[in-house]
C-alpha cells in the first residue's frame, strides 16, 4: 500500500513540475491594454459590437480588428476612453449624437387587416415564414414581440395594447440588436434628437397600401411639398425623411392625410418676441401658419394657439435675443410681463 502511495505521489510531483515548466515555456504575454479597455466598457455583454462580449471586443480593438467606436452602447464617451487607452485621439468632427431605435410602422391590430389567423410559435421570424405573416400588408410589423425578447436592456422596448413595439428613449442604448432581429425591417436607428418619423415601411403603390392599412403612406407627395427644408423625398412609393436636413418643424405632420407621420416631440415650444424686436417683418413673412402679427417697425406678437414651434422664425430673426423658443409656461410668463409695455411701445410708433 505504501509503495502505491509513493508511486502516485511521485507521479503527481513529476506532473506538477512538468506542467509548471510547460506553463513557463509556452506562456504568452497578454497585452495589458485589453484589461484596461475591458474596464471602461459598459459590460452589457450584448454583442452589438459584433463580438460575443466586452472582453472579446477589447481583444479585437488591441489587435486592430475592431474600431475604437465599436461599442454603440457606451457611445461617444466610451469610445473616447477606449481611444485614450490605445493612445489615439478621436476626431471630434462629425456627429456624436446617441442613436435610438424607432418603429417605422403604425399598422397594429386596429389599422391592418388579417389574411389568416396565425396559430404557431409566438415569434415574429417564425410567423413571417408562414406566407410572409398574417397581416395583409407584407411590410407591416408582425407584432409578436421578438424585438422585446432579444433586447438586453430591460425597459427599452415594450408591446402596447395594439401589438406594436414602443421604444423608451431614456433606456434605449442604440445597440441595434432589435433592428437586426426584426424580420420585417421596421426598426431603424435614428439620432435621439430627431422626433419626426415616417412610420411606414410599405413600398406598395398608394392604392394597395390604402387597402391594407388605414395609416400607411399612400405616396401622395403632400409632405414633400409641405417641407420647407427639402428634407423629405419619395422613394419606392414611400416618403423618406432625411434627418440630416430635418429640424423637427413638424409642418409635414398636418399635411399627411393618413396620419402616417409620428411626432415624438410631445411638447412643442412656442416662439416669443421681446421688446428688442425691430419690426423687420421677416419672421411674419416666413411663418407657415400665420402665427405672428405686427406692422412694420412695430414689435410683433405671436399667437400661442397657432404657433407650432417649427423654429423657422427663430432661424431667420436678424436681431440676437429678439425672438426665443420657450415652453408654454414661459411664454405665458413673458407675455404677462411684456403686455403693458408692448401696448405702449406699439401705440407710440
For 295-334, how does the pLDDT look when each residue is reduced to its tens digit (9 = 90+)? 998 889 999 999 999 889 999 999 999 999 999 999 999 9
- pLDDT given for residue 348 in this prediction: 46
d(CA 346, CA 83): 58
Compute φ and ψ for 62, nearest 5 degrees: -65, -35
Give residue-wise pLDDT tens across range 5-57: 666 666 666 666 666 655 565 545 678 898 999 999 988 888 888 888 899 99
Q: Where in the chain is the domain with CATH 3.30.70.20?
A: 99-263, 270-347
Task: Find the helix packing angle between 32-40 and 75-85, rounded to 10°.
Answer: 160
Give the CA angle between residues 170, 172, 173 to the nearest 5°.
115
CATH of span 270-347:
3.30.70.20
- pLDDT given for residue 319 in this prediction: 94
- Rg from Cα positions in the chain: 29
Least confident of 65-69, 170-174, 234-238: 65-69
d(CA 114, CA 104): 19
Closest to 216 measured CA to CA, from 161, 145, 136: 136
CATH of span 32-85:
1.10.15.40
Share of the chain above pLDDT 90, in %: 59
Structural contact between residues 180 and 196, judged by C-beta atoms closer than 8 angstroms: no
Q: Greater confidence, 112 or 21? A: 112
Extended beta strands in 194-250, E state: 196-198, 232-235, 238-241
Architecture of 99-263 per CATH? Answer: 2-Layer Sandwich (3.30)
- pLDDT given for residue 328 in this prediction: 92
Q: Where in the chain is the domain with CATH 1.10.15.40?
A: 32-85
Q: How many CB atoms lie within 10 A of CB 86?
A: 16
* H or E element at residue 40: helix 32-40
Mean pLDDT along residues 183-199: 94
Amino acid at each position: 500500500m505504501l509503495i502505491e502511495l509513493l508511486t502516485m505521489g511521485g507521479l503527481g510531483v513529476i506532473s506538477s513540475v512538468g506542467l509548471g515548466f510547460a506553463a513557463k515555456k509556452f506562456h504568452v504575454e497578454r497585452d495589458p491594454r485589453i484589461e484596461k479597455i475591458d474596464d471602461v466598457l459598459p459590460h452589457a455583454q450584448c454583442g452589438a459590437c459584433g463580438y460575443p462580449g466586452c472582453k472579446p471586443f477589447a481583444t479585437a480593438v488591441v489587435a486592430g480588428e475592431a474600431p475604437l467606436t465599436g461599442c454603440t452602447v457606451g457611445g461617444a464617451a466610451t469610445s473616447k476612453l477606449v481611444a485614450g487607452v490605445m493612445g489615439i485621439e478621436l476626431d471630434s468632427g462629425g456627429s456624436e449624437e446617441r442613436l435610438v431605435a424607432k418603429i417605422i410602422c403604425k399598422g397594429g391590430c386596429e389599422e391592418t387587416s388579417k389574411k389568416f389567423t396565425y396559430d404557431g410559435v409566438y415569434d415574429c421570424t417564425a410567423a413571417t415564414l408562414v406566407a410572409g405573416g398574417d397581416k395583409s400588408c407584407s411590410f407591416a410589423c408582425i407584432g409578436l414581440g421578438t424585438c422585446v425578447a432579444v433586447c438586453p436592456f430591460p425597459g427599452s422596448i415594450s408591446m402596447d395594447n395594439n401589438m406594436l413595439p414602443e421604444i423608451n428613449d431614456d433606456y434605449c442604448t442604440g445597440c441595434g440588436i432589435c433592428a437586426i432581429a426584426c424580420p420585417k425591417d421596421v426598426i431603424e436607428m435614428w439620432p435621439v434628437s430627431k422626433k419626426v418619423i415616417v412610420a411606414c415601411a410599405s413600398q406598395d403603390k398608394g392604392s394597395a397600401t390604402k387597402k391594407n392599412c388605414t395609416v400607411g403612406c399612400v405616396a401622395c407627395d403632400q409632405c414633400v411639398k409641405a417641407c420647407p427644408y427639402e428634407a423629405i423625398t419619395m422613394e419606392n412609393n414611400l416618403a423618406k425623411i432625411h434627418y440630416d436636413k430635418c429640424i423637427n418643424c413638424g409642418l409635414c405632420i398636418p399635411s399627411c392625410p393618413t396620419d402616417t407621420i409620428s411626432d415624438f416631440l410631445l411638447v412643442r415650444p412656442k416662439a416669443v418676441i421681446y421688446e428688442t424686436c425691430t419690426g423687420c417683418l421677416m419672421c411674419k413673412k416666413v411663418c407657415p401658419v400665420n402665427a405672428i402679427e405686427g406692422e412694420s417697425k412695430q414689435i410683433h406678437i405671436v399667437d400661442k394657439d397657432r404657433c407650432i414651434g417649427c423654429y423657422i422664425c427663430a432661424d431667420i430673426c436678424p436681431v440676437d435675443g429678439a425672438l426665443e423658443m420657450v415652453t408654454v409656461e414661459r411664454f405665458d410668463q413673458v407675455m404677462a410681463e411684456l403686455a403693458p409695455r408692448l401696448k405702449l411701445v406699439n401705440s407710440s410708433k
